[in-house]
Structure 1
Amino acid sequence: MSQLLSLWERVQVSHCGQYSVERTLALNEYCQRVSPLRVATVCIFTPLYPLVVVVLAECLPLRPTAEGSSANYVFWIRHSCMLLVMLVGVMVQAKAWVPGLPLSGKRLLGIAVGCSVVATALDVLVAELWVFPIPFLVVLGGPPVVAIVVFTTRCVLGRDGLHDIPDRAFSLRRFFQLFAAQASLTTIYPAYRALFLAAPSYIRQLLVALLPVLDLALKNVLAVYGSHLEDRLPEVIVFTVDVFDALYAVLCMRSANSFVMVGVTVTLNAITMMLTLQDMHHRSGVARANLTAKERRQGEAMETLVTTTLRLLQTPGQLDPSELRSIRLLSSARHRLSDASTTLLDALTAHTACNNGRRAPTTMTMTQLKDRHASAPMAEPILTDDSDTTAQPSRLRTPLRRSCFARKVDPVGGVRKGTQLTTPSHSRLGNTSVASVNRQALGTGRANLKSVDRGSRPAALAVSPLQSHTSEAQGAWRRRGTAANQLHQQNMRVVRQTLQLLFDNEYLCLTAYTQCVVPVIYIGYMACLQNLPNRQYYPDTRVVEDAQFFSDRMRLIVVLAGLQLTSLLVLHTFMTRHFAVSTLYQVAFVLETQAMLVQSRIASLLIISVGFPLEHYGEFSGRNGVNPGV
């Protein structure tokens, strides 16, 4: 059993990164200024844009394919609009993933419009000269579209525009690798769907059980190619693989009409979540131990995890210098921060030995990624101080509003003592004196460590001159130095585990949110399609034309959506109680700060899954196969 758990930990994508300090500051500010009502609004209305896109496409009246390409000019208009939406999503990703790419909003929209029109014109020409509908239009039309986009972008930006990109070769190579990995999913999941429909009923349940294995393999591929994005990996992976997974799981259940498959899917998701939570519990051992120790000595509200982490980073002398480079100060994408947080971040950048780059300096394998972010619990006892503990991770309070932060801080609370980084706009940057080591840790009197800076030695023990060179004093000195080193390692472990905890929670909560919201989007789409004339051009028209049949199938998906929603709420409650982190606030943070990326990607995947199976796009899996999209 332990070997299986070890294997599970090695393949988990949540082990591939940690939050940067900049992203942590952005989350801190978001949770301070945003109300629970706004959080709920963001979570509810984010899927509205993708749903509106696919529904409006179905409102365009189509003609039978037998009437030919010319009579179906409305289809070509629809096709061009769908390409436009998808190309806008691709260009938004390029702008976000390639730092320094001179792609303004006007250029982005102009390239997307021009390429969609040219690609559609070529498709019309092929249909007029060959046959309509064009067989495998979705698959065969992809490479020409990519070539047109690359050529057009090069012409618009010019040679100088591309040469000004920092680390141009690395950034462009990783972008195309990550984009190719995403594009491969548009073939892999439809192929899985075709295999599912062709399999006998007793094999289908096995295929449903194998879907998480397929998802995990694809997530690891995306994590490798997106390793340079690091603290944005959860958004990239979840809103690609998990959206596809949820869509095709819904499509498979709708075809099979089996509550057993609903139970299998929900059970597998629950098991996956439980294993991930168990792993998070193991990886956050030091932070939780410090929190527990502090709670035993102080019953009032704690400072936030963010505040504690920032306080420790402001005093690099309290951290293990050998591990400081593992902490990234800057996010892979710039965040809008207040003047106070910007000044604090600049001060940290100037005075600490942390990683100040916006991306990983080298390409890393999956094993290297997970080794880099490995976190094991400390074997030594937790060092505390009766009056002032430096390493005091806190709880992000419950209920919803208080579960993200117990009280507002700016951006690091506390009273300044000892040596610390100072900035013009921060008069209170937190307590920075090193905690006194207790009697059990030192084995000697109540000696205190005062403001131990990086590279400096602890202050001398108060002994008489005649005793200064005795073996007892030397032993106490060594014990004191050992305790200081242990405290520095403990503080460093608290910082790393806090940043990893935020990364893990973002990945887990986005996955749960996606599994909940995608079935709701599909239900809304099918409810609209049932009342539109274009329903006759989809392969399985009985689903939308027979009211009783439609009701039975949709009831199945409603049950799935309800169970996934329950799972999301249970996850939120569990995380706030046991890890002091708010799930819903972190979901809303990602959905709002990366709205264009998230919504455009969901819209693109929805078009591929439910829009392209249209009869006018030709057969998608052969003349005597079953269309895998509906």
Structure 2
Amino acid sequence: MVIDSNGKQHASPQTQSRHSYLASLTTRIKRSMATKWHRSQIGHRSEYSIERFLAFRDYYESTSMTHAIAVCALTPLPALLTALLIDCIPLRHPSEGWQANYGVWIRQFLAMFFESVGVVFQMREVVEARTISITGAVKIGLGTAVSSVLVTIIVADLWKFPIPFGFVFLINVYVLLFATSMILVIGPQVLKSSPTLRAQIKAQLFIIANQGVFIAKQNIANAAESYHEYVGPLLVFSVDLFNVYYVAICMESSTALATTFTMMVADSLHLVLSLRSVLCRPKLVQEPSKSNATQCVCYLEEISSILRNTVAHKSPQILHRRVRLLAPFPLRLSNDCKSMIRKLAKSGKFSNDGFASRRCSKNSISTRKASTLSKPSRIAKLHHRVTPTTLATVLLPQRGPILSDLIVSSGASIGIVVNSSRSGVFDGLQILFQSEYIILAEYIEFIVPTLYAPYLPALFHLPVAEYYPHTATLTSDNLSRAIINILTYAAIEFAGFSALVLLFKRTLGFSPLYQLAFVLETHAFAIQGHLFVWTLAILHLTLMHHGT
């Protein structure tokens, strides 16, 4: 301490410097922790591209709610029914040896075939166009299935049957056989001449190999950073799907409601943290006038109006670096939106505007069939509005009077909209990505236990039930209690999902069921690949003949 001429005590310069350093260090630590927490949240890692926004807008305009609900309800069924049909194959007791258990090898062949084709469908979504055809996928599946069965039979004959921890013990061998089959089908020379293709396949194999919870999710997100908005469905239908299946199976043997309550609380806390950025979203456009106060401005319309005004007034503010024009993979677009994408690509104002620089799936924009948006949309049928065909109006189809009012509004109001567009579109596209990721995760959390509940009694009545640990000693009374536990868990998750749908509809102005169905239908092959891989692997993992 230092005493001045008035007798007052002051901290010495050394003490002040130390306090300043500690305060600065604390601030840096807090900032670093906040940055790492923000980075760890998958919903904050990316945002929609303009192309994905347009594709979703097309889908929203042309799809009925009945169709969207049907897509959401039917998507998980093929994988679950396949797992149940494989369980219908009769088995002999493991003590009778591998030769008497021919049913095991039929099961393994079918399971490995469907799982291998599922992995190929995942890879076809993210590698160069036409690298693997449907015929090639079938060849890879057959090659992997046949070689896997032969290797397992050889090990069982030379060692013992069932092979102790056989699935875990031989998983690396199965991956090697799959990779070998894939290389032979694609062609070694093709891989040798294409460094890009090698990098894509290497990244995808790393993603497939990393499964688990938080750490694995971060590893996959880092490996799939170039996938941008596709990272959400990728994580939900791999890591989250695996975890929800595990939880549903655990709930089968749970006897305490406290277990269900604890899991619900943990899930709710995570959901609340994820919802903050969506619910606290900024208003992108000015509030409607009093005459239009009763009309709800859809969030898609807010982004659309900013885009149109920006293009119409040639403002470069949102078209420089931050906003991506192209999705990592071509998407289904209407003819008008395809034309607009090409025009915007020529502007050179986006962070990615080169069609040749992105990964391509089997379809390119030039060969995509025009979506049904070319027909009058539901709203257009209601309003019969005619607007001038300019660059601004072609950008997005009209959906009600508010948008056209914004376009022809006064210069002052246009200034308000355009001035907010510097970060408005980027924030809007990021919120669309966050809402998509959240609704996908909540969908998986309720649909898996909902479908597992009828699967369990179906398995219980099959002869193979005696070879699964969780059904071997199950009685009719215990089965009823297990189903009640699973349905209770599913009902709570469904209530949360329904509340989330209503909340998002009120906040964003459109039902997130459209966004959910858009993802499930747009990436149908890849998502079915994920579902087949994890449904078959998890439900059949504990079979006694696998040595577990």
1:491 deviation in Å?
A: 0.8
Pair 1:407 & 2:379 matched: yes
User: Closer, same or farther in 2 for the Cα pair 1:538/1:224, shift >3 Å?
Assistant: same
2:55 maps to which residue? 26
Measured in 2, the distance between the counterparts of 1:503 and 1:112 equals 33
Task: Give the conservation status (yes or no) of the 8 Å contact 1:51–1:524.
Answer: no
SS of the counterpart of 2:288?
A: helix
Counting aligned pairs with the same residue, the percent is: 26
Measured in 1, the distance between the counterparts of 2:485 and 2:262 equals 13
1:275 paired residue among 273, 276, 285: 273
1:96 maps to which residue? 125
User: Closer, same or farther in 2 for the Cα pair 1:179/1:281, shift >3 Å?
Assistant: same
2:21 maps to which residue? none
Structure 2: which amino acid aligns with 1:505? S
SS of the counterpart of 2:57?
A: helix
1:191 maps to which residue? none
Measured in 2, the distance between the counterparts of 1:437 and 1:349 equals 29
SS of the counterpart of 2:235?
A: helix
1:35 paired residue among 64, 67, 70: 64
Structure 1: which amino acid aligns with 2:483? M
Measured in 1, the distance between the counterparts of 2:531 and 2:289 equals 43
2:330 maps to which residue? 334
1:345 deviation in Å?
A: 1.2
Task: Give the conservation status (yes or no) of the 8 Å contact 1:25–1:306.
Answer: no
SS of the counterpart of 1:97?
A: coil
1:58 paired residue among 87, 93, 109: 87
- C-alpha RMSD of the superposition: 3.2
Task: Give the conservation status (yes or no) of the 8 Å contact 1:286–1:497.
Answer: no
Task: Give the conservation status (yes or no) of the 8 Å contact 1:316–1:352.
Answer: no
2:15 maps to which residue? none
1:351 maps to which residue? 347
Deviation sequence 1:542-589 (CA, Å, 0-9, x none): 554x00011111101101101111111100101111222421111111
Q: Which runs of 5+ in 1 are unaligned?
A: 189-214, 363-404, 439-448, 450-483, 620-630
1:569 maps to which residue? 498
User: Closer, same or farther in 2 for the Cα pair 1:72/1:577, shift >3 Å?
Assistant: same
Q: Which runs of 5+ in 2 are unaligned?
A: 1-29, 360-376
TM-score (norm 1): 0.71
SS of the counterpart of 1:573?
A: helix
Task: Give the conservation status (yes or no) of the 8 Å contact 1:26–1:336.
Answer: yes
Measured in 1, the distance between the counterparts of 2:38 and 2:206 equals 25
User: Closer, same or farther in 2 for the Cα pair 1:595/1:230, shift >3 Å?
Assistant: same
Deviation sequence 1:34-89 (CA, Å, 0-9, x none): 11111111111112111101100110000000000000011101011111111011
Measured in 2, the distance between the counterparts of 1:227 and 1:16 equals 8
Structure 1: which amino acid aligns with 2:125? A
Pair 1:517 & 2:450 matched: no
Structure 1: which amino acid aligns with 2:80? L
Task: Give the conservation status (yes or no) of the 8 Å contact 2:108–2:149.
Answer: yes
TM-score (norm 2): 0.82
How many residues are treated as equivalent by the alignment? 491
User: Closer, same or farther in 2 for the Cα pair 1:361/1:424, shift >3 Å?
Assistant: closer
SS of the counterpart of 1:351?
A: coil
User: Closer, same or farther in 2 for the Cα pair 1:424/1:436, shift >3 Å?
Assistant: closer
**Structure possessing the higher relative contact order (Cα contacts under 8 Å, 6 or more residues apart):** 2
Structure 2: which amino acid aligns with 1:534? V
Measured in 2, the distance between the counterparts of 1:426 and 1:260 equals 51
Task: Give the conservation status (yes or no) of the 8 Å contact 2:303–2:425.
Answer: no
- Superposed, 1:306-325 pairs within 5 Å as 306-312=303-309, 314-315=311-312, 317-320=314-317, 324-325=320-321
Greater CA drift, 298-307 or 573-582: 298-307
Deviation sequence 1:223-266 (CA, Å, 0-9, x none): 11111111111100111111111111122222332211111112
Pair 1:491 & 2:491 matched: no
1:47 maps to which residue? 76
1:614 maps to which residue? 543
Deviation sequence 1:320-368 (CA, Å, 0-9, x none): 26x6212111111111222112111111111251122579999xxxxxx
2:101 maps to which residue? 72
Structure 2: which amino acid aligns with 1:285? P
1:91 deviation in Å?
A: 0.7
Deviation sequence 1:148-184 (CA, Å, 0-9, x none): 2222222222244335657334323322322222xxx
1:433 deviation in Å?
A: 8.0
SS of the counterpart of 1:61?
A: coil
Greater CA drift, 169-178 or 570-579: 169-178
Measured in 1, the distance between the counterparts of 2:252 and 2:320 equals 51
1:112 maps to which residue? 141
User: Closer, same or farther in 2 for the Cα pair 1:553/1:12, shift >3 Å?
Assistant: same
Task: Give the conservation status (yes or no) of the 8 Å contact 1:32–1:408.
Answer: no
1:220 maps to which residue? 218
Task: Give the conservation status (yes or no) of the 8 Å contact 1:17–1:500.
Answer: yes
